[in-house]
Amino acid sequence: MNTDRVLADTRVAILAMDGFEQSELEVPLRYLAECGAEVEVVSLEAGEIRGWHDGEWGRSVPVDRTLDSVEHDRYAALVIPGGRMSPDLLRESKAAVEFVRDFAAANKPVAAICHGPWVLAEANLLRGREVTSYASIHTDLVNAGGRWVDRSVVVDGEIITSRKPDDLDLFCEAIVSKLSSKVRRSVRAAE
């Protein structure tokens, strides 16, 4: 895919906490930025959040904005990386769950990979939707009303889900495709 600035003037939030899967935050951040998007890491607290990689702590990533300082209308889309810890902490946060619900209510893309769909389940966004995730949480997603399938990437309306780090290229392509089609529609509407 030609990633040459197709998302210029588009701002995307990545919502994460300590214990995010390293590649599942860093790869979308880099990929979306290469496509011209302004990408901001949003978390519950200021400072840095620390990744998880191969069973141990990984690199830290600076937090650009705290959740209490932003609204969903600042962003065109939301990305939720996986890892077991970060999504589990996010789904315990009323503010994080509301932030996710706000994106869905505004009909904006919400993309979650690996254990990230746990947050979508907590936000009650999966009922009747086709979804995928890391295999170990498929029962949780089914119990939340989702129709779980074992595919690299699933796009159901504005919800994009993916399974694991091996699927990151397809996950990122799906996010860019969804966002660039929205950008094209808004440009046509303004003409």
| Amino acid type, 142 | V
**Which one is catalytic: 72, 114, 138, 172?**
114
Q: Give pLDDT tens digits for 41-98.
A: 999 999 999 999 999 999 999 999 999 999 999 999 999 999 999 999 999 999 999 9
CA atoms within 13 A on the CB side of 64: 13
Whether 53 is catalytic: no
Residue 130: count of CB within 10 angstroms of its CB? 16
Q: Give pLDDT tens digits for 17-48.
A: 999 999 999 999 999 999 999 999 999 999 99
Sorted by where each starts, the structural domains of the chain and their CATH numbers stand as: 11-190 (3.40.50.880)
Whether 35 is catalytic: no
The confidence score (pLDDT) of residue 5 equals 80
For residue 188, pLDDT over 50 is answered with: no
Integer CA distances (angstroms), 87 to 6, 55, 139, 183, in order: 29, 16, 16, 29
Rounded distance between C-alpha atoms, residue 133 and residue 140, angstroms: 10
**Which one is catalytic: 35, 72, 115, 172?**
115
pTM of the model: 0.94
